[in-house]
Amino acid sequence: MLQSKKMFLSAIASAMVMGAVVAPAAVQADGIPFSDLDAKAYYYGSVIELSERGIVNGFPDGTFRPGEFVTRGQAAVMLASVLGLDTLNVKNPNFRDLPTTHPSYGQIAALVQAGVIGGFGDGTFKPNVLMTRAQMAKIIHDGFGLMEGSLNDSPFSDVSSGDWFAPYVESLRVNGITSGTSPTTYSPNSFVTRGQFASFITRSEAAVSVLKFVGNGKFDLVDGKAESASFRGPTSIALLPDGSILVADSRNHVIRKIHNGVVSTFAGMTLELNEFGLPQGGFYNGDKEKAFFDEPIDIAADDAGNVFVADSLNHAIRKISNNGQVTTLAGNGFIGKEDGAGESARFYSPQSIVVTANGTLYVADTLNHIIRKITAEGEVSTLNAASERVVEVFPGEVEWAGDYKDGLLNDAKFNEPSGLALDSKGNLYVSDSGNQLIRYIDFSTNTVSTVVGSFKGTHSLYAEGGFLNGFAADAQLNFPKGLYYSEKYGLFIADSLNKSIRVLKDGKIRTVAQGFENPAGLAIDSGGNLYVADSYDNLILQISGRGGK
C-alpha cells in the first residue's frame, strides 16, 4: 500500500488527560521520558507516541504510572482528544453527577453527542468510577467505527453470546487490538490501566487507517501503475468477481479499471479539450474502447459481468455488456421526465444506479427528484410522486425544487436523491441529499420511511445540513451521496460535505473516518476493506480494519 493518513484528521487537542499534569515530564538520561517506563513493555511505544502528540502526560515526579487504573472521566478525556472532537460546542447530556464545571464535562458531552459513550440507568455518568475492560471495548469499538467480530471462533471462555459486551470484545480481537489477558480469557470486569488504554488507542488508530490506494491526486488522465495514475473527479466504484475494481472517472468521461496495481481505461474515449482545458464528453455506442460518455457518475455490475452506467449529462442509462459492447438501455441524450421503453424514456441527470439479481435496475433520477425502475427488457417506470414545489432563489427568479413526504411509495417525495443501495431483502436505501436524510423504500409494503435524520422543513432549495452521531432519528448529515449496504457491517454513507464516512447499524450512526475532500462512491471487498472514491482529491482510498479478517 501507498502512503497512509490517519482516521479523524481534524486537529487533535492537547488537553490534560488521564489525571496527569499539563506540563510534560522531563526526559530521563536514558532518553525515556518517564522514569517508570520499561522499554520492553507492550505499551511502551504507545505511551511514547501519545506523549509526543500531547495526548498523555506524566506526573510531577517524572513517572507515567502505567499500572494505575483509569476512571471513566479520564478515559473520556483521552478518547475525545484522540478523535479530535469539538468539546466546546456540545449539548448537555444532563447527567446528575456531571455539572458543566466538571473538568471532563466537555469531553464526556462530546462523546455522548457522537454516540460513543453513554451513562447509567439512574441518570448518572459516574466519571470517577474506574472503567472496566468491557466498557473500554465498547467505547473503542464505537469511537473508531470498528466492525463487530464473530463469536463462532472466540477463544475467550469468559465472553459468551449473551453478554452485552461480546460483539465489542470480538471486534477488538479480530482487528488485532487485543488477544486478551490470557490465551483463553478477556477479563471483562477487570479495570483498565493507563498503559493498557494507551496501547488500545494506538492499535485502534492503526486498525482503521485510511490508505491512499490508487492515484497521485493530480487532476488528469494517466493510466499506469497505481501510484502514478491520475483521475478527474472519480465518483463511483464497482467490484468485479475477478478482484478488479471499476471506477467512474466522471470528468474524464470514461470508466477506469484497477487490476493488480495497474490502472487502465476500461471503456470510453475523450474528445478534444474545451476552452477550459478539460476533456469533453460525447454520446456514442459501439465497442467500449470507442464509445463516448458524458460525466458517467455511477456504475453497477451484475453477476454476469455486465456493467451499467448512470451517464449523467447524457441523461441516459448505458450498458457495457460482458462482450465489450456499449448500448443505451434507456434515455436518449435529452432532458425530460418520460416513462416508456428504451430511448423513448427521458431522465434529468441520473446519478445513482443499482442492479438486482433478476436484472431489474433502479435509478436515482436526481434532478427530477424521483426514483425510476428499468426492467430487464428496458421498460422505464416512475415509482414515486414528482415534486411540485417552487422556490424563489433570487427576486423574480424561481426554480423547481424537490420535496419531502413519507408514506405510500406512489405518494412519496424526494429532494435530489443521489445515492442508492439494495439491502438483503431487495429493498432500497436512498440518499435523499437535498433533504439531508437517508430514506428507505420497502417494496413488500410499497412504503417510504426516513431511517436517518428527521425532516424539519425548508423554504429553500435544500434543507440545512449538520453533523451529529447517535440514534439514527437524531443524526445529522450534510449532502449524503454514495451508499453501500453490507448485512454484516451495516449501511455505509458517503457524507460528502461533512467529508466523512458514516455507518448506520443497529439504529445508530457512527463516524468511520474523516478527512476526505468530497467522498462520493463506496464499495466493500470480501476481506472487509472499504474503498472510497474521493472526487475532489482525485483518489481512490482504502479504509482497512472493517473486520472480516
C-alpha cell read off for 9: 484528521
Hey, how many other C-beta atoms are within 10 angstroms of the C-beta on 55? 23
Quickly state the pLDDT bin for 20 (edges 50, 70, 90): very low
Q: What does residue 43 show for φ and ψ, rounded to 5 degrees?
A: -90, -5
Query: What pLDDT sits at residue 83?
Result: 83
Quickly state the pLDDT bin for 208 (edges 50, 70, 90): low
Q: What does DSSP say about strands 447-452 and 407-408: parallel, antiparallel, or unpaired?
A: antiparallel
**pLDDT mean over 441-453:** 98
**For residue range 325-382, what is the model confidence (pLDDT) as tens digits?**
999 999 999 999 999 999 999 999 999 999 999 999 999 999 999 999 999 889 999 9
With beta carbons less than 8 A apart as the criterion, state whether 365 and 347 touch. yes
pLDDT over threshold 50, residue 529:
yes
For the ranges 121-135, 180-194, 195-209, 448-462, the lowest mean pLDDT is seen at 195-209
Query: What pLDDT sits at residue 23?
Result: 32
**pLDDT mean over 243-254:** 96
Query: What pLDDT sits at residue 152?
Result: 64
- Nearest alpha carbon to residue 503 among 192, 171, 78: 171
Q: What does residue 196 show for φ and ψ, rounded to 5 degrees?
A: -60, -45
pLDDT over threshold 80, residue 10:
no
Query: What pLDDT sits at residue 75?
Result: 93
Query: What pLDDT sits at residue 522?
Result: 96
With beta carbons less than 8 A apart as the criterion, state whether 7 and 205 touch. yes
Q: To 10 degrees, the CA torsion angle through 53, 58, 64, 66?
A: -60
Calculate the CA 85 to chain-centre distance. 17
**pLDDT mean over 454-472:** 89
pLDDT over threshold 60, residue 506:
yes
Q: Is the dihedral of CA 536, 540, 544, 548 positive or negative?
A: positive
**Secondary structure element (H or E) that encloses residue 48, with its range:** helix 44-52
Q: What is the DSSP letter of 411?
A: G
Calculate the CA 147 to chain-centre distance. 12
pTM of the model: 0.73
Distance (Å, rounded) from C-alpha 470 to C-alpha 113? 7
Distance (Å, rounded) from C-alpha 179 to C-alpha 187? 11
**For residue range 77-105, what is the model confidence (pLDDT) as tens digits?**
999 988 878 899 899 999 999 999 999 99
**pLDDT mean over 482-500:** 93
**For residue range 121-166, what is the model confidence (pLDDT) as tens digits?**
999 999 999 999 999 999 998 888 776 666 666 789 999 888 999 9
Quickly state the pLDDT bin for 185 (edges 50, 70, 90): very high
For the ranges 7-11, 159-163, 399-403, 490-494, the lowest mean pLDDT is seen at 7-11
333: Cβ contacts below 8 Å, ≥ 6 apart: 283, 314, 315, 316
Q: Is the dihedral of CA 333, 334, 338, 343 positive or negative?
A: negative
**For residue range 54-82, what is the model confidence (pLDDT) as tens digits?**
888 888 999 999 999 999 999 999 999 88
Query: What pLDDT sits at residue 411?
Result: 98
With beta carbons less than 8 A apart as the criterion, state whether 181 and 132 touch. no
Quickly state the pLDDT bin for 39 (edges 50, 70, 90): confident
**For residue range 278-313, what is the model confidence (pLDDT) as tens digits?**
899 999 999 999 999 999 999 999 999 999 999 999
Residue with the bigger pLDDT between 442 and 33: it is 442
pLDDT over threshold 60, residue 409:
yes
Sheet order of strands, 508-514 included: 470-471, 508-514, 500-505, 490-495, 480-486
**pLDDT mean over 399-417:** 97
pLDDT over threshold 60, residue 7:
no
CA distances from 93 to 13, 76, 107, 237 (A): 21, 14, 11, 39
pLDDT over threshold 70, residue 549:
no
Residue with the bigger pLDDT between 30 and 427: it is 427
Query: What pLDDT sits at residue 28?
Result: 44
Task: Quote the mean pLDDT of the chain.
Answer: 88
Query: What pLDDT sits at residue 545?
Result: 55
For the ranges 183-192, 398-407, 430-439, 467-476, the lowest mean pLDDT is seen at 467-476
Query: What pLDDT sits at residue 171?
Result: 84
Quickly state the pLDDT bin for 266 (edges 50, 70, 90): very high
pLDDT over threshold 80, residue 209:
no
Distance (Å, rounded) from C-alpha 444 to C-alpha 322? 32
